[in-house]
Structures are given as structure tokens and as C-alpha cells.
Amino acid sequence: MKVAWLAMLLCTSVVGCSGQVQTKDLEPKPEPASKSEPTIRKLLSRTDLVLVKNFYTPVTVREDKDARLAELIPGQVEIGALWVYPSGSRSQGDRGGSVELTAAGYFADGISHGFDKVTAYLDLDELKDFDSALTYFESSQQVWNISNGGPKHVESDFLSKDGFSASAFRASDDKPIIYLSDENIGVTIPFSRIGELHSALRTAVQAAQSEQ
């Protein structure tokens, strides 16, 4: 019975936010009018040349553990720098980073459930835009304070070309969170830990810039 309950949570909930199970009761974000592919992803998809891929040590930020769900392993986000170039043509390469989201999961009878992964690639300028977005989130928390007669819900969003998004808002328990998502996978980081997330991102930006 407990296994079935955990499975239901993985399908319907976003786990994290200071030990709470958070549901995001929001309308799906509309697709951008003209979604363009990141330059670094286009290069990675090339099949007509040899690519040299430089992966830098990523930094991992994990969701908070819910003490009430000991079997549930929190999800996480992993941010790392990436430099890709055609062999013999370093000047024609692209720099940027990858953001990998891993959903929460659990093990039952030796079988893993959940732990779905998705990776988004961001060009260097997008990594910098993401950095600026987190800076704004940190400085504008008062924007989300809801007053009588005001909006029902307020959130601030960053969206990359590859579909990765970061949102800052107050969850159903009124606690502020950072919600990272791509496709159908979401990772929730309490707002109190935004500095940890920001540090991971800046490490990737600095590593990518070092290859200029």
C-alpha cells in the first residue's frame, strides 16, 4: 500500500520545499511563439564531423528530504559547463552549459521507480540570463506578497530556448520556492536555498567563460 502511495505522489506532486509535498496548481506555460534551438545543441547534433566535447565538473543541488517519506529519495538539479568544438577548429566551437533535472524516486523490491531525467542545453548568453534571473528572484521576493483584492498568484519566470524554466513563487503552503522544470520533470528548491543554486550556476558560467 505504501509503495502505491509513493507511486501516486511521483505522478501528481512536486516534492521538496522544506519537507512539504507541494502541488503546482497552475496553467501550463504556453510554448514560445518561435522556439529557437540553442547553438550548442545544434552543434552537438552534427553528424558530419568529429566533435571534441569538454565537460566540466557539475554542481548538484538537491531537494529537501521529507522526513515523513523516508523511502523517497529527493530529486536534484545538476549544472555544469560545456565547451564543444569541431576537431582542429577550436575557434568554431560553442560554450555554454547543461542543466540536468532528476525527479524524485524510490526503490521497492530492488526495482527503482521514478528518477526520470531530462537535460537542457543553454548557450553561454542563456547561462548569464539565468544568472540574472536568479539575481532578480533574490531581490524581488516582496513582489509575490499577495494582498486582499490583489492577484491570486504571482510568479517570476525564466525560460530557455531548450524548454528549461525556472520559476519563483509562493507554494500552496505560502512558502516561497524556486521551481525548476523541463518537459514533465520538476525539481523544487526552497527559496531559503537560492544562494546554493545561484552558486552552482555561477560556477558553470565562470568555467564556460574561462575558455574564451
pLDDT at 26 (0 to 100) = 45
Instruction: Give the domain range for residue 92.
Output: 2-11+37-209
- Let me know: does 40 contact 53? Beta carbons within 8 Å: no
Residue 57 lies in a domain: yes
Residue 30 lies in a domain: no
Q: How many structural domains does the chain have?
A: 1
pLDDT at 57 (0 to 100) = 95
pLDDT digits (tens, 9 = 90+) for 68-99: 888 899 999 999 999 999 998 888 889 999 99
pLDDT at 109 (0 to 100) = 85
Q: What is the CATH number of the domain that holds 135?
A: 2.30.31
The angle formed by the CA atoms of residues 158, 37 and 196, to the nearest 5 degrees, is 35
